[in-house]
Amino acid sequence: MSYSQPTASVTVENPRISGSNFLFDVYFMRTNNDPSWTSFGFTALGNSSWFFNWNTTVLNTPTLAYVDTTLLPLLTYSNVIGNIGGQLAITTTVLGGGSAFVVTQDVWYHAFTVQCNITGAGQTSISWDALNTGLTAINASTSVTETYFDSGNDIATTHKCWTGAFNADWDNIINWSPNGVPTTTDDIIYPNNPTTELSVFISTYGSVQNLRVNHHAQLYIPGNKGLDVSGTTTLMGDTNIVLDCATGNGTLSSSFMPHGGITYNGFVLENGHIEVHRNLYYTETSASYYMHQVAAPVGGVILDDWDMIPDYSYAFEFSTISQDWWNIYVPSRPTPSGYGFIISVYDQTSASTQDVVFYDNLELGAVSPTFVLANNELALLGNPYTAPVEWDLMIVGQTNILNNVWVFDPSTGAYVSYVGGTGGNSSARYIQPGQSFFIAATGAATQFDMDPADRTHNIEDYLKDEFPNLLRVYTEGGNETSDEIYVRFKEGVTAAYDVNHDGEYWPSAYGEFATAMYTVSSDDVNLSIDARPMIEGEQVSIPLHFKPTIEAEYKLHADEESLSSFALGIEILLEDTFHPELDLFDMRSGSGYEFSATLEDDYDRFILHFYDEAFGIADGRTYKPIKIYSNRTDAFIMNDSEQLIKEILVYDIMGNLLLDKVGVYNDVTQLYVSDKTGYYVVKVITDKAVYTEKVFISK
């Protein structure tokens, strides 16, 4: 009885460039249910030969670099024989014995890897079209010529291939072949089964020209990191790219920015695709519910794809018609790109995370959600891309849209905001993938245009370099919520509410359960972003309202980076009107102003004072010829007098002398104190008097 040769398929994929070598992996798969494939003895398996048409002259001296011994443990592969009649030949030899070998239908098996030397460049493709298995049973044998496959892979020594030869870090030059971290002009290949899989980006993101992720390969981009591809992204099959996210609250998503489109070159039975993760963190709150304002980072998403927790979760959309929240609950309800939604969990008693996964359908073109808004009406939109979008870029060219954006921060329970050209919270300026945001109309508005050109990888702090004289003050204490305000001094504004420069304060979605803080303009508008003119020679005083959520101890802090956006000669002081007996608190001290608050307190408790010493002394203030304050690990001593500083002494809180400096002649002296957080005492002795201040040092 003759053995019936089944139909099989073979493909050659995964070329990898390693120095001057070119490696390719050979896979095979059976495509029918012939019982001969299900189980046969090794003793019945004769010699097999694998032949590939060799239509290039730039690859030479082929050798076997890898053999899957777990797949065919009792077979040996002879060394590759080179050009035989225009073909590359590989033969297998039976060792004999062994049990049955099972070949599962429609599963790709990695048989071996061939390595060749590259002797030239410019070949556009390699063709492989013949497989002669030579399978033998009893006394009969046959061979099969298989379907034509075109690898479509350029042989170019300019490519860089990830090897992971040293570790998992993109930024390590040894992990690339040829050596060197890819740049914006490099084409890169990510192969299957490198020495170490990529999982670390030390820098914020990588930037390359063209990207190819090979069959069975999986390029992983961790949360808060990104990859920019200026050219074409080619995916050869399987889950080729995983856009992961960090756990907990904050900026969590990874960023992937394909500028030149994505080409899917999957095999007959499998399609290449991208996996996009979105982390939703939930914990117990005073309001008994925890929520995220979300947006689909890919197209074609329905409510059921958000994997909502049964019995405990709810979804809402913001109706532009009623200007109110609508509950949505049908699993098949679309949550299309460009629109925002709420996912909320009630009665959460402990912290948990929910990893929501989306597939394929990346938005690569313009997205323009539509609506009908009148003046002062709102719409909740969403970032439709797998990269952050920047408000300063999106707002350009919009019709009747306010230059102000609001994003709900679930970690603080407050809305954070940003005003283009004035400043504000970085999470509102750089809106992350999967994040929704509120816009407001200044007249009749019908759509909001988002474009791939609005995407950015920039998630770095922007306060110091881009926005001078921008102060961030934030709360600490009470329950799990907090709030923040921004004060910006700039030209072309007034102390009243300026619609294009100021940001209106929005109460928290948690209402009475959330701490609140806001400034008040001269025309009584509550602001979270307050743009003011700096008047030379005068003190600028800004009412600062504070609403506690429980009776507790609180602190008001000035962000250190924002403090550095002001010249050292500008004093920033906080007045607590509940305690007129106290001196004004220096917000540069680094310690934060600590106070007690109750639910019965009036909100208009504080006043922020700004004064530029270069223009004189404001009425009613005490002149301090020697000023002492701290910033992080250093102490600063400003001598605004004719006095001569003879000695500066620094003590720890126990009275131990840490530093003794004499011969000080500068107007501003900076001294390193310690890298240990805590309070220290600075004493300055002049030829006229002694000045002492307690300062707070932090890393």
Question: How high is the mean pLDDT in each 10-residue block of the chain (699 residues)?
Answer: 48 57 67 58 44 59 71 55 56 50 67 70 44 34 31 52 90 88 89 85 86 84 90 83 79 85 66 82 87 92 88 90 94 95 88 86 95 97 95 96 94 92 91 93 97 79 58 95 95 92 94 94 95 76 94 95 86 90 88 94 93 49 71 82 90 87 84 85 86 78
Q: How far apart are CA 412 and CA 427, in angstroms?
A: 13
> Considering the domain boundaries, does residue 668 fall inside one?
yes
**In the sheet where 176-177 sits, what is the strand order?**
176-177, 160-162, 187-190, 210-213, 233-235, 262-264
Nearest to 469 by CA among 540, 531, 538, 536: 531
In 54-183, the DSSP E strands lie at 59-67, 75-77, 81-84, 87-94, 109-118, 127-128, 136-137, 140-141, 149-150, 160-162, 176-177
Amino acid identity at 112: F
Instruction: For residues 607 and 513, state if they share a domain.
Output: yes
> Considering the domain boundaries, does residue 61 fall inside one?
yes
Instruction: For residues 601 and 667, state if they share a domain.
Output: no
Nearest to 82 by CA among 49, 113, 116: 116
Q: How far apart are CA 140 and CA 145, in angstroms?
A: 17
Q: What is the pLDDT of residue 125?
A: 46
The torsion angles phi and psi of 52, rounded to 5 degrees, stand at -125, 130
Give the total number of structural domains in the chain. 4
DSSP secondary structure code for residue 302 in this structure: B
User: CB under 8 Å to 317, separation ≥6 — which residues?
Assistant: 325, 326, 328, 339, 340, 341, 342, 380
Q: How far apart are CA 302 and CA 358, in angstroms?
A: 10
Are 65 and 115 in contact, with CB atoms under 8 Å apart? Answer: yes
User: CB under 8 Å to 565, separation ≥6 — which residues?
Assistant: 463, 464, 467, 468, 469, 470, 471
Instruction: For residues 599 and 641, state if they share a domain.
Output: no
Nearest to 18 by CA among 155, 146, 148: 155
Are 240 and 234 in contact, with CB atoms under 8 Å apart? Answer: no
Query: Can you give the pTM of this predicted structure?
Result: 0.74
Instruction: For residues 143 and 164, state if they share a domain.
Output: no
Name the strand (E) or helix (H) holding 35. helix 35-38
3-state secondary structure of 377: coil
Q: What is the pLDDT of residue 648?
A: 93
> Considering the domain boundaries, does residue 544 fall inside one?
yes
Q: What is the pLDDT of residue 378?
A: 97
For the record, the structure tokens of 51 come out as 């032949």
| Residue at which a domain ends, from 592, 615, 638 | 615
> Considering the domain boundaries, does residue 211 fall inside one?
yes
Do strands 445-447 and 423-424 pair parallel, antiparallel, or not at all (unpaired)?
A: unpaired
> Considering the domain boundaries, does residue 107 fall inside one?
yes
**Number of other residues whose CB lies within 10 A of the CB of residue 220:** 17
Q: How far apart are CA 678 and CA 675, in angstroms?
A: 9
Helices of type H across 415-514? 426-429, 463-466
CATH of the domain at 29: 2.60.40
DSSP secondary structure code for residue 614 in this structure: G
Instruction: For residues 557 and 646, state if they share a domain.
Output: no
| Residue at which a domain ends, from 230, 262, 277 | 277
Are 653 and 677 in contact, with CB atoms under 8 Å apart? Answer: no
3-state secondary structure of 634: strand
CATH of the domain at 680: 2.60.40.3080
| Residue at which a domain ends, from 277, 307, 332 | 277
Instruction: For residues 146 and 164, state if they share a domain.
Output: no
Do strands 262-264 and 233-235 pair parallel, antiparallel, or not at all (unpaired)?
A: parallel
Instruction: For residues 135 and 20, state if they share a domain.
Output: yes
**Can you give the residue range of the structural domain that contains 134?**
8-150
In 95-151, the DSSP E strands lie at 109-118, 127-128, 136-137, 140-141, 149-150
Instruction: For residues 223 and 142, state if they share a domain.
Output: no
Partnered with residue 137 across adjacent β-strands are 140
Q: What is the pLDDT of residue 612?
A: 73
Partnered with residue 235 across adjacent β-strands are 213, 264
> Considering the domain boundaries, does residue 415 fall inside one?
no
Instruction: For residues 634 and 690, state if they share a domain.
Output: yes
Q: What is the pLDDT of residue 636?
A: 85
Q: How far apart are CA 619 and CA 634, in angstroms?
A: 31
Instruction: For residues 193 and 268, state if they share a domain.
Output: yes
Instruction: For residues 133 and 169, state if they share a domain.
Output: no
Helices of type H across 75-215? none
> Considering the domain boundaries, does residue 640 fall inside one?
yes
Instruction: For residues 81 and 166, state if they share a domain.
Output: no
- The residue to which tokens 């003011």 are assigned: 532
Nearest to 327 by CA among 335, 317, 336: 317
> Considering the domain boundaries, does residue 346 fall inside one?
no
